[in-house]
Amino acid sequence: MLREQVQGRISRRRMRSPSGAGSPRPSVSLLRPHRLRPARPLRHAAGLCRQAISVLGTVPVPGIARGGDFSSALSSIRLLRHSRRTPRGSRWYAVEVLFLHGAGGWKDDQQIAGELRSRLRVPVSMPRFPDDGMTAEAWLAGIDAALEPLGPETVIVGHSFGSSMALLRFAVLPPEPMPLGMVLLATPFWGSEGWQGEYALPAGFALPPGLPVFLHHCRDDDTVPFEHLDRYEALLPGAVVRRHETGGHQFGDQLDTVARDVAALGS
């Protein structure tokens, strides 16, 4: 099913190409770094402001009442960032989540992003990627743009095609600053031949040292074959693998386990 989704969008892209019917655009070279994210104080300030707004509006932080002053919220957030402490009573974690949805999954994946937001009570950013023109280059550029305003206390959560693009982003060049880790759900394993080659990880790919990664997959997934998890387990020996008997492609009743892994990266 995922193959039909991706190939269908690639076909529509080629039909619209001015270079002639059936002429694909050149694939992105994985050896060419995409737009890098320089360390900018403004990016970190923007992340702090978003979290302060979240704190003032919805999340109790020790020493700050709802509706408290903005400067106090910023001070407490900085304290949490540096201490890496988690107020267990409020279930608030000093992290931000970047959620990468699947191919054409903007609407379907809203539920997963919403569950993470409500369970963890943290900001969850979910940029919308185009349904058509699904080039690796476009998705990697979109990931860079989404990471731009976020600080170093970021956890990347990917679902389906979005998970595979998150891994590909690290194959091109690890972003700076590095995120706290990644939690990847139902990640398709792309081959190096034919149309899949654009999305495949390069030979010899390895995760950056010290980057924790959790891999989740449900046995009853009817979109991405469960066996793809075995291939990633062999490729990424340092990853933590979670096999679920039920949950389907959208993870259903397994989202609590997913949320716990996200929380573990921020604690």
Q: Residue 3 falls within a domain, yes or no? A: no
Residues 72 and 103 in one domain: no
Predicted confidence (pLDDT) per residue in 173-204, tens digit: 888 889 999 999 999 999 999 999 999 999 99
**Which pLDDT band, with edges at 50, 70 and 90, does 61 fall under?**
very low
Q: Residue 55 falls within a domain, yes or no? A: yes
Rounded distance, CA 5 to CA 259, Å? 27
DSSP annotation of 64: B
Asked whether the beta carbons of 179 and 154 are under 8 A apart, the reply is: yes
Rounded distance, CA 11 to CA 224, Å? 20
Give the pLDDT confidence score for residue 195 in this predicted structure: 92
Rounded distance, CA 47 to CA 98, Å? 12
Which of 32, 67, 92 is the last residue in one of the domains? 92
**229: domain CATH number?**
3.40.50.1820
User: How many domains would you assign to the chain?
Assistant: 2
Locus of tokens 């270079």: 19
Q: Residue 2 falls within a domain, yes or no? A: no
Q: Residue 48 falls within a domain, yes or no? A: yes
Residues 153 and 188 in one domain: yes
Residues 186 and 202 in one domain: yes
Which of 70, 92, 114 is the last residue in one of the domains? 92
Give the pLDDT confidence score for residue 134 in this predicted structure: 87
Q: What is the pTM of this model?
A: 0.70
**How many other C-beta atoms are found inside a 10 Å radius of the C-beta of residue 191?**
11
Q: Residue 20 falls within a domain, yes or no? A: no
Sequence letter at residue 16:
R
Residues 178 and 125 in one domain: yes
**Position 81 pLDDT exceeds 70:** no
Which of 34, 68, 92 is the last residue in one of the domains? 92
Asked whether the beta carbons of 90 and 59 are under 8 A apart, the reply is: yes
Residues 146 and 180 in one domain: yes
**Which pLDDT band, with edges at 50, 70 and 90, does 57 fall under?**
very low
Give one DSSP letter per residue of 4-62, joined into a string: HHHHHHHHHHHHT-TT-TT-PPPPPPTTS--------HHHHHHHHHHHHHHHHHT--BT
Segment holding 201, helix H or strand E: none
Q: Residue 12 falls within a domain, yes or no? A: no
**How many other C-beta atoms are found inside a 10 Å radius of the C-beta of residue 99?**
25
Q: Across the strands, what pairs with 218? A: 244
Domain range for 101: 95-267
Give the pLDDT confidence score for residue 8 in this predicted structure: 58
Give the pLDDT confidence score for residue 47 in this predicted structure: 52
Asked whether the beta carbons of 158 and 51 are under 8 A apart, the reply is: no
Rounded distance, CA 243 to CA 251, Å? 11
Residues 88 and 102 in one domain: no
Q: Residue 49 falls within a domain, yes or no? A: yes
Residues 177 and 52 in one domain: no
Rounded distance, CA 192 to CA 81, Å? 41
Question: Hey, is 187 helix, strand or coil?
Answer: coil
Q: Nearest to residue 220, comparing CAs of 260, 253, 189?
A: 253
Residues 56 and 110 in one domain: no
Burial grade of 88 (CB within 10 A; 0-12, 13-18, 19 or more): exposed
Maximum mean pLDDT: which of 20-34, 140-154, 193-207, 214-228 = 214-228
Q: Residue 18 falls within a domain, yes or no? A: no
Rounded distance, CA 251 to CA 248, Å? 5
